[in-house]
Structure 1
Amino acid sequence: MTRYYAVMIKVILRFFQVCLFQASPADIPASSILLNFSVVTYFIVGVLVSHIDHSWTISLVAALADTAMLVIVTKGLLFIRGLPSRFEQTLTAMAGTGALIGMISWPVFVLFRQVEPHSQLTSIILLLVLIVIFWSLFVVAHIFRYALDIRPGLAAVITTVYTIASLIVVGLTISGVA
């Protein structure tokens, strides 16, 4: 059991390194177990973050749509670039870092919803929300850059398009459930 915890701590630290731009998706272990764990964790964290503003049903459907977009876009981009062998590590990196950033940001989003609109804390909390959002976008671009072997500018464009598409799909999904 101790060995299991040591491996998990090592993997979580590797996800942190990717989030801090010190590692790439290639540094994530290729493991179907880790991939499944990362995707499930990404989904659960997505449900928890979405539940801040929505019911459990809507949160489950929104997180499912977001997770499906993550898988489909990652697989599609790697296929288009002729790099399907990178799927396992890339999706693990995307889901693992997404879950990690989601867990870190969850308290910020909860606090943002509890602060009165015109209090002194509002600006500080809003700044923290913006920092988390931009950090998440930069991490996704970082992963795309290395997984797809592309320039940073193109990775930023792909990240922007992916994010907008994901927001549209999740928004349409939520509006169909609501």
Structure 2
Amino acid sequence: MLAFPSPWHLDEVLGLLEEAEARNLTDRGSDEDLARWTRIDAPPGEKVSDGVPGYAFGPRKRGGKAPMRDFAGPRPVAGRDSTEFERTPQLAVLSTVRDGPEDWLSAGQAMERVLLLATLEGLSSSFATQALEWGDLRWPLRDPVSGTGHPQIVLRLGYGPTGPATPRRPVADVLDIQP
């Protein structure tokens, strides 16, 4: 199920995402996890085998209600600016009927289709999954009209500038094709 939160539900979802981001910024475990898969000191063009390089973090959010994960966390990033973001972001919540491995796979396949279609239509997309990482914040993300579903992914969709390209691992490192 792909739901676009109504204005009153959008405020609830944004509040949950904001609460999750605040928790992430003060939770030592979250900060340590973030440090493991981000590379603040990686200069543009440098080969980084894993993780998101600092030059791809984007600006810090200033104003607006757009849910933004700050990949730097509390760590400073040289030369990083801040910018205004939209006051009313367009979010989509992808949910499944059940919450098991098959459902997670189905959600990933559905997300792939949504992202490809959004790209074909000229939209930018980003993940806003912070609230999914906290058990007590995940359940209220569901569609309040139907009251059903297990939220799996929250996407932010809209028109925005193209960000810098990030390094990719060679296909042979991540895919093993057997004849």
TM-score with structure 2 length normalisation? 0.31
User: Comparing both structures, which one devotes a greater share of its residues to helix?
Assistant: 1
Structure with the higher fraction of residues in strand conformation: 2
Length-normalised TM-score, structure 1? 0.31
